[in-house]
Amino acid sequence: MHIPENPIVIGLTTIAALLVATSLMMGFFTKNQMPVAGRNIIVTGASQGMGKAVAILLASLGANVTIVARDLKKLAAAAEEIQAVMNANSSKYPDQKLAVVSADLSDAENAARAVTESEAQIGETDILWCCAGGANPGYFKDYQPADLVWAMNTNYWSAVYIAHNVLQRMTSRPPPVQKYPTDGNHQRKIIFTSSLIALCPLFGYSSYSGPKAALRALTDTLRQECLLYDIGVHCCCPGSILSPGLDNENKTKPETLKKIEEEDDVPQTPEDVAKYCLEELQRGQTLPVTSFLARAARSAIAGPTPRVGFLFETLLTWASTIVYIFVRRGHDGYVLQEKKAKGLPWENKDV
Ligand SMILES: NC(=O)C1=CN([C@@H]2O[C@H](COP(=O)(O)OP(=O)(O)OC[C@H]3O[C@@H](n4cnc5c(N)ncnc54)[C@H](OP(=O)(O)O)[C@@H]3O)[C@@H](O)[C@H]2O)C=CC1
Ligand SMILES: CCCCCCCCCCCCCCCC(=O)[C@@H](N)CO
């Protein structure tokens, strides 16, 4: 047998062999890791934006869905849309159930009540997908303490209290009987929604990057703990979503943050975000993202978080670490432009 000695040939052969090996290993993950037909799913923050799009997508795929938010009027409007999707499905998925629960999830008792009401109407929970959240961008020094508490309540506690309650219930009983037992891995799941901001914390999001990064850290801890119970824990990290929440936060967003986002982030529709997140979850990804840029940001900070497609992810980690030197300089550049335009605050009485 002829053994090539040319280092380029050896190098290329090695890379080709590694690629073949990873694609073979990827075969282990081709099974759908999150089938939803016939399963009971609670979606929080589902009266608008991403949460509503997630609820509609899950309904279109045959899930029983409970939508949770505070405002009853917005919930009723969303429920009408979701019910229409279920009605259109009725020949394929008969008996699909929809429940509507109004609760302020930043309160632990309300969060527990929401789960009780959901289970009374659609049955024992298979999947909890937390989408409730929101940002109030601004300058750290200008916030009132109540603004910081609001951000923590809206993003962290609104997800953690209900996840805690659902996990207590899930661990006290076996998984519900599955209606379509052969369509994939029916592991029960808790899914948080963080943000690309947790992977790349930026200027202007000081009230928000903390709670969102906390959800991501909690995911790593809980994922490991929940190996004990065969319950999956995941945390979606989308970039900007064209939602009512984004319109609202843009009213107070510092101009410099707008410039950074305009340069580095392409906003996506709630429907696309829901679809890409579900695809990543179905591949078994722990930190689903919705764009290549976000994938690069994820690879740069992944640490021990499991990643599907380890070879490509590792190469991307190396590349991102280097690219970040320039990306960060670009972002810092916008902030320094603001400094130049405004001057230092103690030298400028207008600021
Ligand atoms: N928009 C964006 O650019 C991005 C958003 N994200 C995250 O994605 C998720 C969805 O965002 P988006 O689509 O903009 O959402 P929106 O801000 O448009 O909607 C938020 C939803 O959460 C509900 N909600 C808020 N607070 C509570 C609460 N205390 N208890 C119960 N429900 C609550 C709201 O209903 P109600 O007010 O009636 O309670 C509403 O249904 C959020 O977690 C957000 O942080 C991540 C990346 C980018
Ligand atoms: C090599 C890697 C490069 C990575 C660059 C990353 C650039 C980051 C752009 C951040 C955009 C912010 C999106 C989320 C905003 C959000 O969560 C709020 N709007 C919530 O409502």
Q: Can you tell me the distance from the alpha carbon of 187 to that of 230, in angstroms, rounded to the nearest whole number? A: 6
Is the shortest distance between the CB of 97 and ligand 1 below 6 Å?
no
pLDDT band at 23 (very low <50, low <70, confident <90, very high): low
Is the shortest distance between the CB of 215 and ligand 2 below 6 Å?
no
Q: Can you tell me the distance from the alpha carbon of 60 to that of 56, in angstroms, rounded to the nearest whole number? A: 6
Q: How far is CA 164 from the centre of its chain?
A: 18
Please give the domain boundaries of the chain with CATH numbers for all domains.
Answer: 31-308 (3.40.50.720)
Element of type H or E holding 197: helix 196-199
∠ CA 68-125-302 to the nearest 5 degrees?
A: 85
pLDDT value, residue 20? 55
pLDDT band at 124 (very low <50, low <70, confident <90, very high): very high
pLDDT value, residue 110? 98
Is the shortest distance between the CB of 244 and ligand 1 below 6 Å?
yes
Q: Which of 122, 78, 131, 80 is nearest to 98 (CA)?
A: 122
Q: Can you tell me the distance from the alpha carbon of 43 to that of 25, in angstroms, rounded to the nearest whole number? A: 32
Whether the pLDDT of residue 210 is over 80: the answer is yes
Which residue has the least CA distance to atom 11 on ligand 1?
Answer: 50
- Report the 10 Å Cβ neighbour count for 346: 7
ipTM score of the complex?
0.99
Angle 7-26/310-342 helices, nearest 10 degrees? 100
pLDDT in tens, 146-174: 999 999 999 999 999 999 999 999 999 99
Which residue has the least CA distance to atom 21 on ligand 1?
Answer: 45
Q: Can you tell me the distance from the alpha carbon of 63 to that of 178, in angstroms, rounded to the nearest whole number? A: 11
* Probe target for ligand 1 pocket from 43, 44, 50, 290, with the most ligand atoms within 8 Å of CB: 50
